[in-house]
Amino acid sequence: MSLTGRSLRAAVCAFLVLCGSVAAVPTADADQSCHPEGRALRYVVAFDRGTSEAEARAAITGGCGSTTIYYPQIAVAVASSADRDFTELVRPAAAFSAQAERLAVQRANGTPSAKAAPARAELEPTDPAKVPSADRTGEQWDMRAIGADKAHAIEPGSPDVVVGVLDSGVDATHPDLAAALDPGKSAGCLTGAPDRNWAATTSVHGTHVAGIIAAADDGKGVTGVAPGVRIASVKVIDDRGYADPEAAVCGLMWAVSQGMAVTNSSYYVEPWSLSCSHADERGVVNEVMARAAEYATSAGTLNVAAATNEAVGLVPSPQSGARPQTTGCQALPAGLRDVVAVSSVSSERVKAGYSSYGLGVIDVTAPGGETGECVLSTVPGGYAPLCGTSMAAPHVAGVAALLASKHPGHGARQLRRSLDAQATPIACPADYDLTGDGTQDAYCTGYAGFNGFYGHGMVDALAAVAPRRTGSNPAR
């Protein structure tokens, strides 16, 4: 199931009707005081809202750069420049380069950062005939925890609903995913502009996430939350594991252009290794991400994101146009107001030790597992268990897809309200000492119906397709 050159060009052209031309603009020449040094680096550039494409391109050219793409709906451009003074030259626009930030850290430390290691080995192509056909749904404790196994009999999801898997790429040849994956709506976003490089190449992550959402209900392997919906592979995580801001923005904008009902983002935006890191440039990244998320929501696309595995207390990220936060830990995109942030619980319905949390950030929770009892899903060549908020988020995206199937007229905000209202509340634990050393490992604030560990509670697939009657017992 490969995307032909003609269908790719048609999809990208349709996208660019909304997002503008991507024709290259020559960089300014030497007599304009440009001083290129080495290879060109990518930048994300935030302009004042209402800036025209011509104005944005002129500013980038004048700043010794070239325009990759301009998104006029949110006044954000992706540019490249070999001039290390580009961020100053392009003003009054605000620019940031994750690539430049990583290089600066490497130079300061004298050694590459941990994530700057050589790219991971290429994945072996999946031979569908060699994928084990045994039914492993009995091992899917996570699906039973949210009632997904019962929901399938009522509503497996509609093929009219497309979920964007904004991740490291999806294996389109896996037999549990081949029928669900829509190559015409898939795209690579690593350059900040959509292209045909959307398949999994070095990481199993995106394929695992995709299986949680929509693995086929065929009596073989595993079954996803919404096996009847379609998925699109939108590659925003590169072969070294980076999710740079320009890729994340591209992913959200592409999802809107393709009419996707839901997106899942099981990553946090680089280059910072910790979501508590702060720098002046973080304001630019927050601004472009907030604009993209706000635009996607207003266009009807619900965005779901993992809360990160850093076990930190999160605070909300600023809305677009607001001053950057100077205190507290922030996670992008999970901390944004227009994103459904998901924490992770174990099979015992307790916050996983690695899961980040935060009152006013976490919306709902879902199974992500703990060591020894992770979430089983698809990977290239077969199946494997993985743990993390990365696994929790697609459970929520799957439930949102069931809601979109059941209520095709509902927009992003209506879907979100339904997710929250139908979640099963989980109260803060009286004692959260996971290590048994007498010290609390994290502090939960809030009340049973809404708190920092679980938000509104455990997402409920069965309630999404057959809402509980008032006063009924939510226990399964």
pLDDT (0 to 100) of residue 228: 98
Q: pTM value? A: 0.91
Looking at per-residue confidence, does 279 or 458 come out higher? 458
**pLDDT tens by residue, 407-461:** 999 999 999 999 999 999 999 999 999 999 999 999 999 999 999 999 999 999 9
**Single residue among 114, 146, 165 that ends a domain in this structure:** 114
| C-beta neighbour count of 358 within 10 angstroms | 25
156 in any annotated domain: yes
Same domain, 223 and 360: yes
Instruction: Calculate the alpha carbon distances from 91 to 61, 88, 192 in Å.
Output: 12, 6, 20
3 in any annotated domain: no
Same domain, 310 and 264: yes
Same domain, 186 and 217: yes
* Selected catalytic residue, list 390, 405, 410, 418: 390
Exposure string of 239-276, with b = 16+ CB inside 10 Å and e = fewer, is bebbbbbbbbbbbbbbbbbbebbbbbbbbbbbbbeebb
Q: Is 7 annotated as catalytic?
A: no
Same domain, 36 and 137: no
- The CATH number of residue 244's host domain is 3.40.50.200
- Residues facing residue 230 across a β-bridge: 162
**Single residue among 65, 86, 114 that ends a domain in this structure:** 114
Predicted confidence band of residue 320 (pLDDT cuts 50, 70, 90): confident
285 in any annotated domain: yes
Three-state secondary structure call for residue 462: helix
Domain range holding 191? 130-429+440-465
Same domain, 192 and 94: no
Predicted confidence band of residue 386 (pLDDT cuts 50, 70, 90): very high
8 in any annotated domain: no
Q: For the chain, how many structural domains are there in total?
A: 2
Mean pLDDT across the stretch 465-470?
70
Angle at 357 between CA 355 and CA 363, to 5 degrees: 110
188 in any annotated domain: yes
Q: Which residue shows structure tokens 């922030």?
A: 330
13 in any annotated domain: no
Same domain, 225 and 347: yes
* Selected catalytic residue, list 205, 395, 410, 456: 205
Cβ atoms of 208 and 391 closer than 8 Å: yes
Same domain, 30 and 134: no
470 in any annotated domain: no
Q: Is 390 annotated as catalytic?
A: yes
Q: Is 167 annotated as catalytic?
A: yes
122 in any annotated domain: no
Does position 106 have pLDDT exceeding 70, yes or no? yes
Same domain, 84 and 166: no
Same domain, 32 and 143: no
**pLDDT tens by residue, 325-344:** 656 788 999 999 999 999 99
Instruction: Find all residues with CB under 8 Å of 424, minimum gap 6, and list them.
Output: 457, 458, 460, 463, 474
**Single residue among 64, 84, 114 that ends a domain in this structure:** 114
Mean pLDDT across the stretch 73-102?
95
Same domain, 318 and 407: yes
Predicted confidence band of residue 282 (pLDDT cuts 50, 70, 90): confident
Same domain, 78 and 175: no
Predicted confidence band of residue 468 (pLDDT cuts 50, 70, 90): low
Same domain, 195 and 94: no
* Selected catalytic residue, list 83, 142, 149, 167: 167
